[in-house]
Structure 1
Amino acid sequence: MMRILLTALLALVIAACAPSGPGTRPGVEVDLGENIERLLDTGEFRAAAEALEQRAEAQPQQRDMFLVRAAEAWLAAQAFERAEATVARINPAALAREDRIRLDLVQAELAMRRGDLANAGWLLASTAERLPASLSERHAELEALLLELESSPVRDALDALQQAVEEPDFEGETALALLLEFPLAELEGVLYEVSDQARLMPWLDLVITAREHLLDDEALGAALDSWESRWRAVDYPAAEARRWIAAWRQTRPLPSRVTVLLPDSGSPLHRPGEALREGLLAGWLQLTPDRRPQLEFRYIGEAPEDAVSAWFDARENGTEFLIGPLGQAQADALSRQPDAGLIPTLLLNLPDDPQLLSESGGEIMALALPPESEAELAAIHALATGHKRALVLSQYSSWGERVSRAFIDTFSLGGGRVVEERIYDPELPDHSILLKEVLEVDDSEARIARMSSLLGDSVESVAQRRTDIDVIFLGARADDGRLLRPQLEFFDAGDLTLMATSYIVDGAPRPERDRDLDGVTTPMPPWFLDFTPAGVVRERAGTLYDGLDNATLSRLHALGRDAIALLPWLAMMRDDPTLELPGMVGRLSLPDGHIVRRDLPVIELRGGYARPARIDERETTNR
């Protein structure tokens, strides 16, 4: 079974170690042209590569030399597929000696990208004896990169596995024990090197299969069953692999002492903080007694400096992990603190500038519930289902402005067009005047009136809405959303796709309350969906904890559960952007090493119930 060979491990290492530019020019008498020289000097490598390919076509006698330089520029731009395609067009026999060496170096770097370290080593060795001084620095950088890749711990583990499979008492647990901790990209990288070793392939396939679904019990079980059916000859039951992985997950290290920063009794966030605390404790109780860290709840005032002071106290007290604070101003202050990540920290809100998290150094991360991220997911879903022309209606508030802007930016970036954007007063119960105008029903009525006037008699006609939109995004909360949707239907817009965030529903959908939202499609946290395992947990929690009928408090309870569930996995997630935890508030991952991403299921409200959105059946409206 061949898998993706273009691995994230090699991408990261090459991005860090490879030359910053294509390494042309010192001591080389080649006229690339003033414009191309400028593009290379300013780091505009993609544009330089395209210009070099154009020069190659315009000057056939120097075509292959320009293509070599173009391949170098594509590498510098990290456009590796374009570099491969350019190399395939080069005729080595037409190259001068130095350009042939340049081509060898390009091919060596591309071989490392594919995980073919043996070929990369041969190419570097073959060029060492005939290397001109102008290319010595680039050659040395590539050799250093090759050495780093060859000394990768995953290869040491693979060597150990190669020896272990020859033992008569070899079991599948050995493969899992040796390799399961490595990021998926590293495992896929070494797959290329052993694809011809029949005895090794089942076990590397087992590890990769397990790693792909490591924290998702349902998906893991199905994937391991599929693995067993592929490799029946090895006689290793999927059930045994499941049991071993479940036991292994219980061995993941947890901090022994965790400080949680919560709003004190004088703060308007005190009640939300208590809901968060209950969620944290509920998640803590899900751990086995021998694995539960000591939780220390520190109640702090509203001022940003209160969070900073608490951080210093936690550092002095030997805290191994910090959770919180909940307020944005305090999260912002803590992220601006020098060495804030000295204590591994999980903020529960985003700073004003999320870039601060990557600049602060250390292990500082954020798990938050910004509605803007749901608006972005709504835009992605609209684009994925073929919608291209949007009308945006959002409430007149800072919240409405933020979610509408997030939808518009994402929708536009994906090639969609926002035909019109309007705001409404959420305090008004009737939006007829606005909707008639924005849907251009009033224009249609005016045309009918003019026709009647011209004919001197009434014209039997029904006013029609505009036809240049195929999706409406509602930046609405629950109360105004339940008013808007029926009014849109009254003005003949009920057949259009209506997108929103989950805040258009007041928590989990209920048919006795939410039938007026029928037809609305939205991303929604699994916590609020009765058909998910998280929804089952919510229903049980509702009998144990007060206040979970309040959507805000319920969200924060779920957030607390997920904060605890993430503790054993954050370090692995920082190393592996593909590792996902099925949480209460979404599928959680850490692709940039700092902000926990939430992927949410997309649902459609039908009969007041949430149902999985029918992506394959949906068609855009274009009347």
Structure 2
Amino acid sequence: MLQHLRLPLALGLLLGLAACASTSGDSIGSLPDTRNADLDKTLTAAGKKKGDEATSLYLAAADLAWQQGDSLKARSLLESLNLDHALPARKIFANTLSAELALARKQPEMALQLLQDPAFDRLAELPVAQQVRSQEARARALEESGQLLPAVRERIYMAGLLDQQAAGNNLESTWSLVSRLQMPVDSRANETELRGWLALSRMVRGNGSLVEKQLKLREWIAANSLHPAARQLPAELDKLLALQPQPLQRVALLLPSHDRNQKVVNALRNGFLARYYEARESGQTVPELLFYDSNQTGSPEELYRQLQQDQVDLLIGPWEKELVTRLAEQASLPVATLALNYADNHTSQATSNLYQFGLSAEDEARMAAERAWADGMRNAVVLVQAGDWGRRVQAAFAGHWQQLGGTLVDSVYLGQPVELAQQLGSLLRLRDSEERSKKLADTLQTRIHSQPGRRRDVDFVFLAAPSQLARQVRPTLIFQYAGDLPVYATSAINPGSQDSALLHDLDGITFTEVPWLLNTSDPLKDGIINRWPEAASLMGRFYAMGADTYQLAVQLQLLQALPNTSTEGLTGQMQLGKQNRVERHTGWAQFVDGKLEPLP
């Protein structure tokens, strides 16, 4: 027996010595001890130590300062340390803390850079609490830099490390991210959990009434019983199941029979009816429709008295901006109303029972700000068409851009095309560059061959102008030595023309566009174009809006009860925003060699 024991023991000693020899230079190290809650004592103790012990205490002090809300002291302590040769555990701890501080300063790209240090390859060897902290910082950094799908993947990955309360919070964050993803999303073959989340999101966003969504959600839970969202529904979906459906019985459509933009009005009506009949033919319960002519209606009071007499549950319209503005001046409306335009007046108090939906350039400006921010841009110049429309779009972009943390360097209101070169030259300060070259030549008393250069405090251009004017911006930027500046724009730049010769000057500009004009396959769209060929052109935007109006009508109860819920339509992803205005997130495109190419 003893003889049998000696051999394994000797072998164990030899293996242990060999392991020590092979890993002595590959130690992960230890995390700082953060149990002391007294910052002054921790700093005093650190001052009495040297080398690694001092570094550990200073890291603990920096973390303590951050937990106590003193980010400046935390940052100062971290920057005073030389961690170039620190072991992985210390590097991971320090970089995670630095990333959290960067996120507090709205610098998600810096946070991601810190979290990509090679030391994080060994994160899984550290205690679970540190793994969770580092992954939480990475998930937040990905989200705040606009990388929503990688953020979802990070949260799915870390879910298995979390206790009950943290797991619940992570589940809610995951759903919030998934519900904001732009569809479609490609998942990998082994991403079963992600595919479950995506299926859940498509079901909630899709067509159909509240009753149909509740039925589909219960079916999804039964079919995916092992999915985290089936075991614990996100709060928003729990509320969805608890809602008492209030189906529409009668819906009235209020549009003009004679209007200077009657083609647009007809497109809205036909798109609405196409979606309505599609729903009816697929077996969905649809409301009775009544039609009113806004050319023949009297005062708002008379209109709503008639609606109440007709027992209308929802009025769709009016379309005319002046009529919508008049309704928005009321404190409340006796019948729920989904207007097909936005009121001019912006009051702090929303009109009760009034919802507003349209193809808003302001929405597109805010989307452009989010896209540019996600692409890493931070310093913007704005070029908008002179006039009221341009001022509104500029204000929407500037407000959202600064809210994200971006810097608005300058704004220019574009006048006549002949003025464009001078306006852009002044904006880009080319003359300053030329004058510097001239002064240098005068100082050296010699001829200098130099190329003028643009100002370097600008990352990109936001453009909101009609196609005819926009077509001159890109060539002028190139001529003004600023062809390297990315340009983000609203859909106003799209002329709808198939003539590539006219579109080459728009090449490379990233712009918003409705899914109707980007996606080639949709049964409803195909049917509408077959009947009304003009729907294949820019007029298709209004057919899409009409179709989405019906979709909003039957989902209004859901969207109002769950403000973060959205629905996927042919004009984009829609949800109710402030003052019950429908906000859209559209697709993205570029012209490449004069051809429209969708972007991811």
Normalising by structure 1, we get a TM-score of: 0.55
Letter in 1 for 2:583: R
Letter in 2 for 1:490: F
The worse-fitting range, judged by mean Cα deviation, of 321-330 and 271-280 is: 271-280
Letter in 2 for 1:258: V
Choose the corresponding residue for 1:410, options 400, 416, 432: 400
Could you list the per-position Cα deviations for residues 466-503 of structure 1 after superposition, in whole angstroms to 9, with x for gaps in the alignment? Answer: 11101111121111111111111222222111111111
Aligned to 1:545: 532
Task: Assess, with a 3 A threshold, how the Cα gap between structure 1 residues 256 and 513 changes in structure 2: closer, same or farther.
Answer: farther
Task: Assess, with a 3 A threshold, how the Cα gap between structure 1 residues 520 and 610 changes in structure 2: closer, same or farther.
Answer: same
The worse-fitting range, judged by mean Cα deviation, of 346-355 and 381-390 is: 346-355
1:529 aligned onto 2:529: no
Would you say the 8 A contact 1:254–1:567 is kept in 2? Answer: no
Choose the corresponding residue for 1:364, options 354, 373, 382: 354
Write out aligned runs for 1:320-469 (5 A).
320-340=313-333, 342-353=334-345, 355=347, 359-361=350-352, 363-425=353-415, 427-429=416-418, 431-455=420-444, 457-469=446-458
Letter in 1 for 2:351: S
3-state SS, counterpart of residue 417 of structure 2: coil
Choose the corresponding residue for 2:504, options 498, 503, 515: 515
Distance in 1, matches of 2:302 and 2:496, equals 35
Question: Unaligned stretches of 5+ in structure 1?
Answer: 1-52, 55-81, 83-183, 190-204, 233-247, 615-623
Distance in 1, matches of 2:326 and 2:428, equals 45
1:312 aligned onto 2:305: yes
The worse-fitting range, judged by mean Cα deviation, of 516-525 and 503-512 is: 503-512
Distance in 1, matches of 2:385 and 2:402, equals 20
Deviation at 1:572, TM superposition (A): 1.5
Choose the corresponding residue for 2:289, options 271, 290, 295: 295
Write out aligned runs for 1:125-274 (5 A).
211-216=200-205, 231=226, 254-265=247-258, 267-274=259-266
Deviation at 1:450, TM superposition (A): 3.8
3-state SS, counterpart of residue 409 of structure 2: strand
Write out aligned runs for 1:101-120 (5 A).
none
Would you say the 8 A contact 1:252–1:568 is kept in 2? Answer: no
Deviation at 1:608, TM superposition (A): 3.2
Letter in 2 for 1:424: L
Task: Assess, with a 3 A threshold, how the Cα gap between structure 1 residues 503 and 392 changes in structure 2: closer, same or farther.
Answer: same
Would you say the 8 A contact 1:215–1:582 is kept in 2? Answer: no
Deviation at 1:296, TM superposition (A): 2.3
Would you say the 8 A contact 2:205–2:568 is kept in 1? Answer: yes
Aligned to 1:27: none
Distance in 2, matches of 1:502 and 1:365, equals 24
Deviation at 1:610, TM superposition (A): 4.1
3-state SS, counterpart of residue 288 of structure 1: helix
Distance in 2, matches of 1:506 and 1:308, equals 41
Distance in 2, matches of 1:359 and 1:389, equals 34
Could you list the per-position Cα deviations for residues 179-227 of structure 1 after superposition, in whole angstroms to 9, with x for gaps in the alignment? Answer: xxxxx97x999xxxxxxxxxxxxxxx99988654324569x99xx9999
3-state SS, counterpart of residue 408 of structure 2: strand
3-state SS, counterpart of residue 333 of structure 1: helix
Letter in 2 for 1:312: R
Task: Assess, with a 3 A threshold, how the Cα gap between structure 1 residues 403 and 473 changes in structure 2: closer, same or farther.
Answer: same
3-state SS, counterpart of residue 488 of structure 1: helix
Aligned to 2:574: 588
Would you say the 8 A contact 1:395–1:476 is kept in 2? Answer: yes
Distance in 1, matches of 2:487 and 2:246, equals 45
Distance in 2, matches of 1:483 and 1:302, equals 44
Deviation at 1:228, TM superposition (A): 6.4
Would you say the 8 A contact 2:518–2:587 is kept in 1? Answer: no
Give the aligned CA root-mean-square deviation in angstroms. 4.1
Distance in 1, matches of 2:393 and 2:351, equals 27
Letter in 2 for 1:406: A
Distance in 2, matches of 1:474 and 1:491, equals 16
Choose the corresponding residue for 1:276, options 256, 268, 272: 268
3-state SS, counterpart of residue 266 of structure 2: helix
Aligned to 2:461: 472
Could you list the per-position Cα deviations for residues 396-439 of structure 1 after superposition, in whole angstroms to 9, with x for gaps in the alignment? Answer: 121111111211111122221111211221x4256222222211
3-state SS, counterpart of residue 324 of structure 2: helix
Task: Assess, with a 3 A threshold, how the Cα gap between structure 1 residues 295 and 511 changes in structure 2: closer, same or farther.
Answer: farther
Distance in 2, matches of 1:448 and 1:593, equals 54
Would you say the 8 A contact 1:300–1:306 is kept in 2? Answer: no
Letter in 2 for 1:586: G
Aligned to 1:504: 493
Would you say the 8 A contact 2:350–2:580 is kept in 1? Answer: no
Deviation at 1:577, TM superposition (A): 2.5
Would you say the 8 A contact 2:461–2:485 is kept in 1? Answer: yes
Could you list the per-position Cα deviations for residues 480-529 of structure 1 after superposition, in whole angstroms to 9, with x for gaps in the alignment? Answer: 11111111122222211111111111248874542221121122221121
Aligned to 1:236: none
Question: Unaligned stretches of 5+ in structure 2?
Answer: 1-67, 70-103, 105-170, 177-193, 208-212, 228-240
3-state SS, counterpart of residue 499 of structure 1: strand
Could you list the per-position Cα deviations for residues 579-606 of structure 1 after superposition, in whole angstroms to 9, with x for gaps in the alignment? Answer: 3221011111225582222122333333
Would you say the 8 A contact 1:509–1:528 is kept in 2? Answer: no
Distance in 1, matches of 2:292 and 2:473, equals 43
Deviation at 1:330, TM superposition (A): 0.8
Would you say the 8 A contact 1:576–1:591 is kept in 2? Answer: no
Distance in 2, matches of 1:274 and 1:300, equals 14
Deviation at 1:371, TM superposition (A): 0.4
Distance in 2, matches of 1:389 and 1:206, equals 37
1:597 aligned onto 2:597: no
Deviation at 1:549, TM superposition (A): 5.7
Task: Assess, with a 3 A threshold, how the Cα gap between structure 1 residues 370 and 308 changes in structure 2: closer, same or farther.
Answer: farther
Would you say the 8 A contact 2:363–2:585 is kept in 1? Answer: no
Would you say the 8 A contact 2:351–2:579 is kept in 1? Answer: no
Letter in 1 for 2:449: E
Distance in 2, matches of 1:209 and 1:520, equals 30
Aligned to 1:494: 483
1:578 aligned onto 2:572: no
Distance in 1, matches of 2:540 and 2:564, equals 28
Give the paired residue count: 393
